[in-house]
């Protein structure tokens, strides 16, 4: 069975693209277990991962394809949360979505995708950010 971690932010189009990439993995849907993770950078109101639209969108796409799904929430740095979750569940692959940024934006804000790729020894699937980037 494939164990996959999808690190999603709040962008529903990116979350859908990530889920569709997992659906397209080789093998049968029942051979895949996906953990959809959202890391709250700051969550003073105590929001739940179930309240994040992008999480629900990814879950729906995966479940409609017959893939078993778990939801996970975390606080703090998203790249660290994604890598830690992948280690905890012994994931076979981590799925993240890239997005277009200017060079200045990358320097100022960093990149979750870059952080994941550089700090994990697991395979990382980087998806297109969705139809707007094609």
Please state the rounded mean pLDDT for residues 110-116.
83
- Please report the pLDDT score of residue 72 as a whole number: 96
- Please report the pLDDT score of residue 21 as a whole number: 95
Angle subtended at Cα 84 by Cα 32 and Cα 120, rounded to the nearest 5 degrees: 85
Q: What is the mean pLDDT of the chain?
A: 88
In the chain, the domains with their CATH numbers are: 2-133 (3.40.50.620)
pLDDT band at 46 (very low <50, low <70, confident <90, very high): confident
**91-105 burial, b for 16+ CB within 10 Å, e for fewer?**
bbbbbbbbbeeeeee
Count of all residues that appear for the chain in the document? 134
Alpha helices in the chain (DSSP H): 12-23, 53-64, 78-88, 103-109, 112-119
Residues 55-110: tens digit of each pLDDT: 999 999 999 999 999 999 998 899 999 999 999 999 999 999 876 666 655 554 45
- Please report the pLDDT score of residue 41 as a whole number: 79
CA distance 113 to 5: 13
Residue 121 pLDDT > 60:
yes
Residue-by-residue DSSP string for 20-55: HHHHTSSS-GGGEEEEEEEEES--TT---GGG-HHH
Q: Would you say 8 and 127 are in contact if contact means Cβ atoms under 8 Å apart? A: no
Q: Would you say 59 and 49 are in contact if contact means Cβ atoms under 8 Å apart? A: no
Residue 134 pLDDT > 60:
no
Q: Note the pTM of the prediction, 2 decimals.
A: 0.88
């Amino acid at each position: 069975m494939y164990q996959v971690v999808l690190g999603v932010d709040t962008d529903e189009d990116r979350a859908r693209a990530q889920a569709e990439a997992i659906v397209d993995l080789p093998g049968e849907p029942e051979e895949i277990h996906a953990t959809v993770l959202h890391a709250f950078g700051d969550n003073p109101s105590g929001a739940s991962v179930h309240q994040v639209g992008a999480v629900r969108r990814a879950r729906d796409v995966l479940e409609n394809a017959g893939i078993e799904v778990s939801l996970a929430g975390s606080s703090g740095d998203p790249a660290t949360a994604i890598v830690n979750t992948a280690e905890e569940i012994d994931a076979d692959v981590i799925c993240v979505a890239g997005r277009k940024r200017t060079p200045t934006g990358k320097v100022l804000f960093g990149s979750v995708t870059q952080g994941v790729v550089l700090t994990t020894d697991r395979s990382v699937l980087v998806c297109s950010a969705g139809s707007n980037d094609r």
